[in-house]
Structure 1
């Protein structure tokens, strides 16, 4: 990552007093003529962000519909209309670009980051966005206990070691006590919780006790437990929540009729406006009249009038909507295996073209064995490396690839992909042979020789040797594959119970340390720096050891547990990595971290993830033909969906 000043070149045109260069959607022109809005050149910043469109200058109009599946799918709206950070990734995921900040500078040892905001940039209600909004987020949300959710990944432990200073109306300075070479890249990646550009001070101050002494009393009168709970709802702190109340920022809305959203302004291209009941119900986002990006012809974006998120329960319903041509451009959920099987029929039916989606996952089905299980007897089993090796050798990966993944992919452990600069052949290729005879011998050597009347091995307590595998209910291919794994393990005399759960329940079980084996996210396939948590217990996504993660967050926290020496060595290497702005030195530290991960072998993998296929309606324009899928690159947002448009018939 180059630590240098980046400045967005000013537009080669400027509005004049006689006539604005800029053009806008007809509905906005009509509102301006009725004096409901200022003229377009007064709504745009002095230096709007100029987008080079993917194919052609677009046309205004139309509705983009997407399927929002199950509970906790708020990341679909976030990744579609909610990604406007200070800096962002470019469409090719090669370099960082200014965004809300029109420029930034980094000092030589990556401790001071200075952002220049766009003068005249406005929230969706017309109020100027200034450095004070960033200060409000940092001082009054992020640093206010747990008000802002979990600390962001770039935040030093305990929220200490960083200060934010406002220098005038449009300058914000982040100063770290220690080098933070990953700060900008982390800002540009996906965010579980709201960030520096998501909290309009003028709209949210009245919900905050620091500015409104009656905030707690008012919240209690409305049925909230505290002013913090009300603030978190109205500010939409948690990006992943997708229940109607969270998206509308309202408590217990009446879902039998149209419900207007709480009017909290944003910087996004579309603003969530209302929820409409129906089959399916839909959450509707309308065009932001103050959106601050333009195309090369001076047209204010977005082109598309509104975006609708259809509330659907499962992949089966999404398939039905795709077959009927209801869904617009979508990759999320469409790339799930159950729908991938139907893609050829959907494309043959007409109305869609294929969108190639390159996965960044380290593995299709990474089985994370809980190294910190609270029960000593279960922990003794789960922490046995030889046991995990034996179970890995028992898996017939080729059969799973052929049946569940249509023959696409290769046997692989949880490791960076071959395309990644961090590829580790040792980590990726070890313990892949399908060798049930050796697996049985290893279990015998571990002392699991006694069996019950059905041929199942007995553990040290005399009970049947049994493991429970958690899968995602909304991803039925996981259950299908794990059922095949269970059959392979049955041949060893090991009983595996496959238990599908909702995504939220899975995360809750992992967070509370109440599980044995769980399918983790499979991150760390392309970038083992920002996604090192796939191999080191850094974040809650490190499914292999939640109690170690708690210790990393806070060594004094209840139920936290200091990791063993080998993992402590990984943590020390990662600390060095965070301090180094040199990509080559970072890569050497990653290599050492992965060597230790190979030694420990905490997770079992199945196969590489083959390219997937999303869908784009044939009348959709300016959508790339190829897109990478990653939380570090929260597609499709980095491709600027505000430039997408729907061609007229």
Structure 2
């Protein structure tokens, strides 16, 4: 019996067999198994020998495609690898279907879950190969787990969770077990998300040469190669765990549809990918995927250049960076000249901007102020959300706090709308309750001791262009209400580096967790490093960075206990109930401030690019467009 995950409630199954694969194969051995003409004449085994015995059969969105062509898109700077993860690298053990309703087989053709949710047994497709032709086996999964057990290698994955360690037990070449110390009811969603890529991205055959356990000379060879330690050498060559150089090594074996040709480095002007001749998926007529031969990604720091490329028809498909509200009228008017079309993206984000005051500030006076719910309520009442919506988003969206989207079964209208009224009088009453002193001669509130209060808000203008307009309006609104604001526009590296120090007043980000509520609770509770409002509480919860971890407030500890129960619960209905309890506490304590519920987004696609779904659900954990199978996109002749 199969149980599938429903997107809104984020449900996962207890036992999954190979039934879906069997239905899709439809007698796969009789397929013609055609290959791209670009592979003809290469010194390769026949396509039938390059595929596993049971290749994954993918039904095209609209039609069987034709081979050839280069998909052109763009990256914003040499560290913009998220677009690559979303287009090239979404191929884990399992994956989400196109409707975000089911977790379906991928590299693993089947899996079983023990009754206590501690042991997950996976069976890989027989005959899988890395892009260099070497076998992909259970030993590669075990090697990844072994490497991640090293203290200095990687972070932030389920494989390195001190609260619930995991072991990999190899049964045979295609069968292995993930054995957790405690029940793990959410692991299938972890594996199906963009984060599931890590466990299948380290080839033992290739990466073991940098590891002293398998190469006793690794430390010496690392120094000869210019690295002080083997860990640095390993990170440079097998860099899946290293965000900044993840796609910088063309020799790193891949299991994806396209493999690195020109790497993404800090000074690259472009990154390119070429088809993987050992890719393990076929269409319903037996043609080996992908259809498109190459991907060419222009690297530029200039948003204007990327926008002009799209208007000139030099981008075949993209949404990241360029599909802004400000650009939408330009792109709409330029469709005929640029020979492209606009498709609809439905966002999973629940807010256009989240303002996060630092409840763990190193300054005890500011910490006390920011921990005051009344202070946060006062700030919220000074925001004229409708003005921001009208000016920045041309009227698209509606006022909202950080709360699940209306489409989610976790939606709570009261939670979404609380304190969203523009009400300076209510703000003044809240500030008095928070203990602020009277306004000074400049019209700004003071601290309780009469000293000036100036709040600095960190922003990254290069990440989302509309944030500048939003924050300039928000600054004017707050200052008109008596809160003196300074905007600190910094680069993304410094933005993240400040978090462990605790020496910042506030930061902003987009409102993740609107549909993927259980997987992305960062604004509902102090769940991880992206919970900037309580970074040190999150370290206490996760057992990481003990040198800066701080014991949370009692209400936050209650949420953490509920989340620990949720993560160990195998029953989806019980998980949902536990999440609702976490949300009730979040609603009561109001940790962060939202601005507005986003309107629908869009993407740009050339008119001759086919098999692209519309609309698309748009998220990061559901790494759009990855779940819509870009390997079956093609250019019509």
Common topology (TM > 0.5): yes
CA shift for structure 1 position 461: 4.6
| SS of 1:195 mapped into structure 2 | helix
Question: Is 1:425 matched with 2:413?
Answer: yes
1:557 pairs with 2:546:
yes
Q: Residues 71 and 403 of structure 1: is their aligned pair in 2 closer, same or farther, counting only changes over 3 Å?
A: farther
Cα separation, partners in 2 of 1:301 and 1:157, compared to 1, 3 Å: closer
Aligned to 1:198: 201
Which of 144, 164, 168 does residue 137 from structure 1 map onto?
144
1:519 to 498, 508, 516: 508
Counterpart of 2:570 (choices 573, 581, 593) is 581
Pick closer, same or farther for the CA change 1:194–1:297 going to 2, 3 Å.
closer
Partner of 1:22: 33
Give the distance between the partners of 2:329 and 2:581, measured in 1 at CA.
39
Give the whole-Å Cα distance in 2 for the aligned partners of 1:618 and 1:280: 29
In structure 2, the CA distance between the partners of 1:280 and 1:122, relative to structure 1 (3 Å rule), is closer
Q: 1:611 aligns with which of 587, 600, 615?
A: 600
C-alpha distance in 2 between matches for 1:334 and 1:586: 37
Please say if residues 391 and 489 of structure 1, whose CA atoms lie closer than 8 Å, have aligned partners that are also in contact: yes
Of 158, 178, 193, the residue aligned with 1:174 is 178
Find the aligned partners of 1:246 and 1:625 in 2 and give their Cα distance: 30
Q: Equivalents in 2 of 1:273, 1:64: separation in Å?
A: 14
- 1:304 paired residue among 285, 292, 297: 292
**2:16·2:111 contact (CA, 8 Å) conserved in 1?**
yes
**Which residue pairs with 1:543 in the alignment?**
532
Cα 1:376–1:544 shift into 2, 3 Å: same
Q: CA deviation at 1:284?
A: 1.1
SS in structure 1 of the partner of residue 206 of structure 2? helix
Cα contact 2:379–2:478 (8 A) shared by 1: yes
| 1:366 has 2:366 as partner | no
Query: Which of the residues 502, 507, 520 maps onto 2:491?
Result: 502
1:456-499 Cα shifts (integer Å, max 9, x gaps): 22223543211111222212211211111111111222111112
1:160 Cα deviation after fit: 5.1
Pairing partner for 1:395 from 380, 383, 391: 383
Deviation at 1:352, TM superposition (A): 1.1
**Paired residue secondary structure (2:359):** coil
- Out of 152, 163, 186, the residue aligned to residue 146 of structure 1 is 152
Check if 1:210 corresponds to 2:217: no
* Change beyond 3 A, Cα 1:280–1:161: closer
Task: Give structure 2 stretches of 5+ with no counterpart.
Answer: 1-11
SS at structure 1 position matched to 2:532: coil
Give the number of aligned pairs.
Answer: 621
Question: What residue is the counterpart of 1:248 in the other structure?
Answer: 248
CA RMSD of aligned residues (A): 2.0
Between the aligned partners of 2:243 and 2:603, the Cα distance in structure 1 is 22
Whole-Å Cα distance in 1 between the matches of residues 518 and 595 of structure 2?
A: 22
1:337: how far off? 3.4
Match of 1:119 in 2: 126
Q: Which residue of 2 aligns with 1:257?
A: none
SS in 1 for 2:141: helix
The structure 1 residue matched to 2:67, chosen from 51, 60, 63, is: 60
User: 1:582, CA displacement in angstroms?
Assistant: 2.0
Q: What does residue 25 of structure 2 align with?
A: 11
For 1:340-355, what aligned pairs fall within 5 Å after superposition?
A: 340-355=328-343
Pairing of 1:85-104 with structure 2 (within 5 A): 85-104=92-111
Q: Hey, what's the Cα distance between the residues in 2 that align with 1:233 and 1:608?
A: 40
Distance 1:442 1:127 in 2: 65
Find the residue that maps to 1:344 and give its secondary structure. Answer: helix
Shift of 1:237: 2.1
Structure 1 stretches of 4+ moved >6 Å: none
| Ranges in structure 1 where 5+ consecutive residues have no aligned partner | 250-260
Match of residue 69, structure 1, among 76, 92, 95: 76
TM-fit CA distance, 1:359 = 0.6
Shift of 1:576: 1.4
Aligned: 1:186 with 2:190: yes
Equivalent residue number for residue 460 of structure 1: 448
Q: CA deviation at 1:190?
A: 1.6
- Structure 1 pair 64–578 and aligned structure 2 pair: CA distance change class (3 A): same
Instruction: Tell me, in whole angstroms, the C-alpha distance in 1 between the residues paired with 2:629 and 2:431.
Output: 53
Give the distance between the partners of 2:433 and 2:515, measured in 1 at CA: 37
| Deviation for aligned residue 1:590 | 1.3
1-side partners of 2:298 and 2:90: how far apart?
20
Maintained 8 Å contact 1:64/1:304: yes
